[in-house]
Structure 1
């Protein structure tokens, strides 16, 4: 596998390197390089720091693509990110992106098979997820009118992936229903001219309702999309993903993605961390 430079320490770069590695083997020294450099820079972001690196390592472990002691590697990650999560939860100025990124990490850690027999690690991760979900639902229900539509759509997609009723959050499903209905009414208006951003957002909604197993919403969204036109590679990928039978099939990034075709560093991590049937 090719080496990287500090200036190119992006999770999108790491994902692309793994996708294009034909042998199916992961260069664990590369992961160590990412971790060391992020620690030196005190970088806890998702795009290039320990939050994103930790999520990706946990994902690789879940997909059985690496042979390491996941708890030993991510032990300090869990503790440090737990402290960051607590600060974000009580911060009145916390952004939806901060909360979502933390949910992405802790949800993947909660899925870890090693945690099934390790209640000492599993319990605090579960409790952290509960609090993050509460914060998340509060932000969406309070500020949905001011969030851009594509941000809302991506968050609804994430909700459908994590589970709107998961982690004892009773209000999550109702918020999910309400915001879906609001966006459907807006996009269904006959005089609504759909931009490429609108179409991208609508495809995220479509995949979200497929994961939620709601054929009625799915049919409504497909009716909206039937009047749209585009020539955008990212939207074409989303369209291909939306056609997958999410119950019985899966789709590999290697088969649908070329890193030169999509100028969006968050796109791959969005697909991998929010869609159940998209795999590396």
Structure 2
């Protein structure tokens, strides 16, 4: 049984609850209870396919008032386990960036949860874990910047991280990260422009997602000059950029969010303050 958010039952629950039909909410609740009975036999703790993702779903549904629960009580044991996983992952030489970003998703929604009589120390633990994860991500970006050869993979990862950091700072204060964010944006814009001019093997398609992460991030952080520069660069990049679902979200085209795949919907819910994310849910 796949309980995952990305391709499993938890993703189905998310879609059912976000459907405006109340009958779907009842189906979603029944499926949620079914997963809850089976979840602790799952050995996968990833955000995409395991316990972290299912627990994020519980915290999200509580945050959006679909569930009338005390999320601190329900997720207490999960919190404790995810704390341990966080320290273990950060202790590795090169932890997966996507896994680190998944942990950010979890701790951010848990930090945002509000419960009656909530424990200050639990909130503090959530924010401290976020600080540790943010520190790792910023160090990763700085390491890539010092590297004279940034691969397309590193470029796209760094841009994805910038979008996540910009989204997260809307909800939690993290030192002087806002000052660093604008400098990082400028660096990767200049890197892309230089690469497009000097590299004989340059293929803008392999940088498309990175550019879109940067564009959404610049818009979200209200870096208007950088946003316009990125829009100009992206429009020159061609159809792959202009037809991408991220560009459609950015440009506010007439866009039916109900047609989104679970992966795309999760991307919006965990990265971008779109009208759908902030108002319609």
**TM-score category by the smaller chain?**
0.7 to 0.9
Q: Which has the higher helix share?
A: 2
In 2, the alpha carbon distance for the partners of 1:252 and 1:66 equals 31
Give the match for residue 247 of structure 1: none
The verdict on how the C-alpha distance between 1:15 and 1:150 changes in structure 2, with shifts beyond 3 A counting, is farther
Q: TM-score, normalised by structure 1?
A: 0.80
CA RMSD of aligned residues (A): 3.2
Q: TM-score, normalised by structure 2?
A: 0.79
Q: Deviation at 1:12? A: 3.8
Gaps of at least 5 residues in structure 1 are 245-250
User: Do residues 267 (structure 1) and 273 (structure 2) align?
Assistant: no
In 1, the alpha carbon distance for the partners of 2:186 and 2:171 equals 18
Asked whether the equivalents of residues 149 and 201 of structure 1 are also in contact (C-alpha less than 8 Å), the reply is: yes
Give the match for residue 187 of structure 1: 192
SS of residue matched to 2:236: coil
Runs of 4 or more, structure 1, over 4 Å off, are: 4-8, 164-167, 189-193, 231-234
Give the match for residue 241 of structure 1: 249
Among 143, 156, 176, the residue aligned to 1:150: 156
Asked whether the equivalents of residues 12 and 47 of structure 1 are also in contact (C-alpha less than 8 Å), the reply is: no
Q: Deviation at 1:256? A: 2.3
SS of residue matched to 1:226: helix
Give the match for residue 30 of structure 1: 31
In 2, the alpha carbon distance for the partners of 1:201 and 1:28 equals 37
The verdict on how the C-alpha distance between 1:142 and 1:193 changes in structure 2, with shifts beyond 3 A counting, is closer
**Which deviations, in whole Å up to 9, do the C-alpha atoms of 1:72-95 show, x marking residues without a partner?**
221111111111112122222322
In 1, the alpha carbon distance for the partners of 2:210 and 2:10 equals 22
Gaps of at least 5 residues in structure 2 are none
SS of residue matched to 1:46: coil
Give the match for residue 128 of structure 1: 129
In 2, the alpha carbon distance for the partners of 1:252 and 1:55 equals 29
SS of residue matched to 1:25: helix
The verdict on how the C-alpha distance between 1:268 and 1:50 changes in structure 2, with shifts beyond 3 A counting, is same
Say how many residue pairs are matched: 263
In 2, the alpha carbon distance for the partners of 1:104 and 1:154 equals 13
Among 211, 215, 223, the residue aligned to 2:220: 211
The verdict on how the C-alpha distance between 1:207 and 1:63 changes in structure 2, with shifts beyond 3 A counting, is same
Give the match for residue 248 of structure 1: none
Q: Deviation at 1:233? A: 9.3
Q: Deviation at 1:17? A: 3.5
In 1, the alpha carbon distance for the partners of 2:116 and 2:93 equals 31
